Structure 1
Amino acid sequence: MMATIIDGVIIVLLVGSIAYGYSVSRKVRQLMATLKELEPLVNEFSSAVDKTEHSVHLMRENIEVAEQVQEPQVKAVPDTPAEAAFSSRRAPSDAPEVPGLRVMRDKKDLVRKFFETSSTARV
């Protein structure tokens, strides 16, 4: 009698384990199918992150070059701040031009250029 009860409990536990394993397997298959659908999106995101990292690297290089070029001007005029993100004043015409660095005079131009650049990067 006791052996039959123990065998019954073992059979119930085995059936429960098999049902749970089947449930987990089905969920994993659904997850893998969803990930396969998302693969192109993940690849696009990865390439966008790579482009962003490259752009940030180039911007940092341009800023460093601009700071090195502007270094003598900062020493000559002590009231001028060393780093200015946006200038509403016009720069003197004899200011050296840094390749790859474009000075924006108006916030509207800055925003417009941002959206033009971002829309051309998607294409």
Structure 2
Amino acid sequence: MSFVIDVAVLVLLVGTLGYAWVVDRRVRKLMVVLREMEPMIGSFSQAVERSESTVSALRAAREAQPRARTETRSETRTEAARKEPAFRSSRERPSRPPEATPLNGKSELVRGFFETVRQREA
């Protein structure tokens, strides 16, 4: 009986080692792909930050416009709202959940991720 238990444990151990080997191969492939993608992800992160800063600059410029222009536009909008149909062809933009916080410095976050990966490999 103990021989059967020993064989079962041995089979399970060999299976575990085989699975660990497969996972190791997949992780190594993933790390190679991440290293290849690092420049692209960094440039994408910088582009996102530039677009966010541009949007905030545009919002600031819109708020800095003279009040008279804004009032005439709001009057025009109320007139247009009266002419709009009772339904909308597009959805309203969903509001951000209260627990969601905007993340600043995304490029530092991306760089930090890759630095952490390099440190773990060493």
- Measured in 2, the distance between the counterparts of 1:58 and 1:83 equals 25
Deviation at 1:74, TM superposition (A): 5.8
- Measured in 1, the distance between the counterparts of 2:73 and 2:19 equals 67
Runs of 5+ in structure 2 lacking a partner? 77-122
Number of residue equivalences: 76
- Measured in 2, the distance between the counterparts of 1:17 and 1:73 equals 71
Normalising by structure 1, what TM-score? 0.56
Query: Residue 56 of structure 2 corresponds to which residue in structure 1?
Result: 57
Query: Residue 89 of structure 1 corresponds to which residue in structure 2?
Result: none
- Measured in 2, the distance between the counterparts of 1:11 and 1:58 equals 65
**Structure 2: which amino acid aligns with 1:29?**
R
Normalising by structure 2, what TM-score? 0.57
Residue by residue over 1:17-44, the C-alpha shift from the partner in whole angstroms, topping out at 9 and shown as x without a partner, is 0000111111011111101100001001
- Measured in 1, the distance between the counterparts of 2:40 and 2:26 equals 22
Query: Residue 48 of structure 1 corresponds to which residue in structure 2?
Result: 47
Distance change in 2, residues 1:37/1:4 (3 Å): same
**Cα RMSD between the aligned structures?**
1.9
Distance change in 2, residues 1:43/1:74 (3 Å): closer
Query: Residue 68 of structure 2 corresponds to which residue in structure 1?
Result: 72
Deviation at 1:73, TM superposition (A): 5.2
Runs of 5+ in structure 1 lacking a partner? 85-123
Query: Residue 120 of structure 1 corresponds to which residue in structure 2?
Result: none
Identity %: 38
Computing the radius of gyration from Cα coordinates, the structure with the larger value is 1
Higher RCO by CA contacts (8 Å cutoff, separation 6 or greater): 2
